[in-house]
Amino acid sequence: MTAECDLGAIVRARSATFLRNRRTTAAQRKALRAIGACRTPVLGGQRQQCDHCGHEHIQWHSCRNRSCPRCGAAARVRWLEARRAELLPVPYFHVVFTVPEVLNVLALHAPRVFYGLLFRAAGGALVDVARRRLKIQPGCLCVLHTWGQTLTLHPHIHCVVPGGGFSIHDQWRSVNPTFLLDVKVLSRRFRSLLTRSLREAWREGTLKLPKRVVADSVAFDLLLARAGATDWVVFCKPPFGGPEQVLAYLAHYTHRIAISNSRIVSFENERVCFRYRDYTHGNAEKLLTLHVDEFLRRFLLHVLPPKFVRIRYYGFLANRTRARSIAHARRLISGRFVPPVPLDSTTARRCPQCGAGVLRNIGPVPAERPPPSPEDSL
């Protein structure tokens, strides 16, 4: 086993060779550069000193790339703290929308358009079915995940849905805790909305695919027909509690990436071994070993287009009306809302030498000159 077996070490060891032999996008190359440099002298850092024993330590800067497993903790805390002010004293539900595997080709070659339409279809299905069957306007927070446990392409939308909504008379109406919607109805509406929007995007020319993938309109219609012939799985979990549980849940799902460093077991002899959960066999934890190039190829499938928003809101939680709707809902819902305990966002670090003091910044460490970029030689 190598001394280091995290994603950064794998990228530093293999990205140059990988990029010479593989076609990649600018966003994927940028992600590899950032992950390889993260927490290394290439980005510089801060010299820290213990205020108790005087021990000195260098804390290298992070890359802040959203695909990096070592970054995002501070952003996640800030985002969750902002969401605290928006929680309602009602049960919350978890709904997952997935698409047939045959549509993965669209995610692979037109991710920005496909993922945007996927969001609209999932949020639209929840809003439409709730209005038609329950006579309420619901709210939902939607998060895009693109990966399966083995890093294969598996686009799906996780939705967090408050257990109620506004009636046509602008009153709050709670829903049955057993759940608010029939998942079969949701599935059919989701399929209808997504296939319709895909056809419109193809007809308008915004959904552009290589000729070798989809040659013409006939081939595109056949692709959608194949997708429509299969079941579109929509899954709903039961309520998972009040505001405290909601925050813990959101922390687990909203800022995840394809793989965390804790799942990587080893990197040796050009093979990467990592843990995954096999949901088809009782959620058992297993090990998978891939050639390092295949591992990087799969990882890069989940680098999103630049500036693509992967957390979106619909219904009464939509951005334009969210603050006003939440305030109104709280006035209508009986009972006093007790906000959860604030998350611990402290940045102080205990001294690894004495364990009693705290490391304090005493000065910057200049960044070292980075090695030549691998794509410079392409």
Backbone φ and ψ for 276, nearest 5 degrees, come out as -150, 160
Amino acid at site 302: H
Amino acid at site 73: A
pLDDT in tens, the chain (378 residues): 444 689 999 999 999 999 999 999 999 999 999 999 999 999 999 999 999 899 998 999 999 999 999 888 778 888 888 888 888 888 888 899 999 999 999 999 999 999 999 999 999 999 999 999 889 999 999 999 999 999 999 999 999 899 899 998 889 998 865 555 788 999 999 999 999 999 999 999 999 999 999 989 999 999 999 999 988 999 887 766 666 677 777 777 788 899 999 999 999 999 999 999 988 777 889 999 999 999 999 999 999 999 999 999 999 999 999 999 999 999 998 755 555 555 554 456 788 888 889 999 999 999 987 666 554 544
pLDDT of residue 373: 56
Strand residues in the chain grouped as ranges (E): 45-50, 56-60, 92-98, 136-137, 139-147, 153-162, 164-167, 172-174, 234-237, 264-268, 271-278, 284-291, 311-315, 349-350, 358-365
pLDDT of residue 139: 94
Residue 151 to residue 258: CA distance in whole angstroms: 6
Beta carbons within 10 angstroms of residue 372's beta carbon: 9
| 183, 234 Cβ separation under 8 angstroms | yes
Beta carbons within 10 angstroms of residue 251's beta carbon: 16
Look at residue 305 and give its three-state secondary structure.
coil
- If you search the block for the tokens 């290439």, which residue do you land on? 42
CA distances from 93 to 114, 128, 150, 177, 179 (A): 25, 17, 26, 9, 8
In angstroms, what is the C-alpha Rg of the chain?
23
CA distances from 372 to 25, 60, 97, 195 (A): 18, 20, 42, 45
pLDDT of residue 5: 82
| 29, 22 Cβ separation under 8 angstroms | no
pLDDT of residue 116: 98
DSSP letter, residue 235 = E
Residue 275 to residue 279: CA distance in whole angstroms: 13
Q: What is the rounded (10 degree) CA torsion for 282, 283, 288, 293? A: 130
pLDDT tens column, 180-238: 578 899 999 999 999 999 999 999 999 999 999 998 999 999 999 999 998 899 988 77
Number of H-type helices and E-type strands within the chain: 10, 15
pTM: 0.90
337 closest CA partner among 113, 166, 88: 88
Ranges of each domain in the chain: 7-66+348-377, 86-258+311-332
pLDDT of residue 20: 93
Residue 50 to residue 63: CA distance in whole angstroms: 25
Length of the chain: 378
pLDDT of residue 221: 95
pLDDT tens column, 16-61: 999 999 999 999 999 999 999 999 999 999 999 999 899 998 999 9
